[in-house]
Amino acid sequence: MSARIVALVGSLRAGSHNRQLAEAAVDLAPEGATVEVYEGLADVPFYNEDIDTEADLPQAAARLRAAVTDADALLLFTPEYNGTMPAVLKNAIDWLSRPYGAGALRGKPVAVIGTAFGQYGGVWAQTEVRKAVGVAGGTVVEGVELAIPGSVTRFAETHPSEDAEVITGLSAVLTGLVTATAAPAEATA
């Protein structure tokens, strides 16, 4: 089965562990599937309905919407900032939720994972992202989760792609997400 998965990373930092986790996902994509890390979230302006018009739509927002519209699924990577998701990820969700009822997220299978310094691996942020994605029209894939604690020390000397536990967990997430992309087609067959 083939699936094109677009990954959005909620950290803009060059050395982000969530970015490294997304890079590992690219290499671990199941056969027939691809994971593409979306570049350009930093260029998307804060959502403003006044500029979300045919005449004024920012190119960065249009590119984001097009990339997600063309994807079969989304894989969102989030760190935890002050107990919740980073603004850049929330902003992307806001742009993808519009136009209301017909946004690029509508009906799209979505998995939310990530790593954070805390002992719970960013579960609060992941919960908030899942909530926002669901309200925005995405289909959060149940049971496809991965929260990796202690990122600062765990990945100080090791890239996530070299951590056996991460490889196992990330592979399971990718398999679950790819399976979810086939579910709508199987339901109509």
Structure confidence by residue, pLDDT tens digits, 32-86: 999 999 999 999 999 999 999 999 999 999 999 999 999 999 999 999 999 999 9
Q: Which of 95, 122, 92 is nearest to 9 (CA)?
A: 92
Whether residue 176 is predicted with pLDDT greater than 80 in this model: the reply is: yes
| Domains along the sequence of the chain with CATH | 3-188 (3.40.50.360)
User: Could you give the CA distance from residue 168 to residue 65 in angstroms, rounded to a whole number?
Assistant: 31
Q: Confidence band (pLDDT; 50, 70, 90) for 166?
A: very high
User: How confident is the model at residue 187, as a pLDDT?
Assistant: 42
pLDDT classification of 2: cutoffs 50, 70, 90: confident
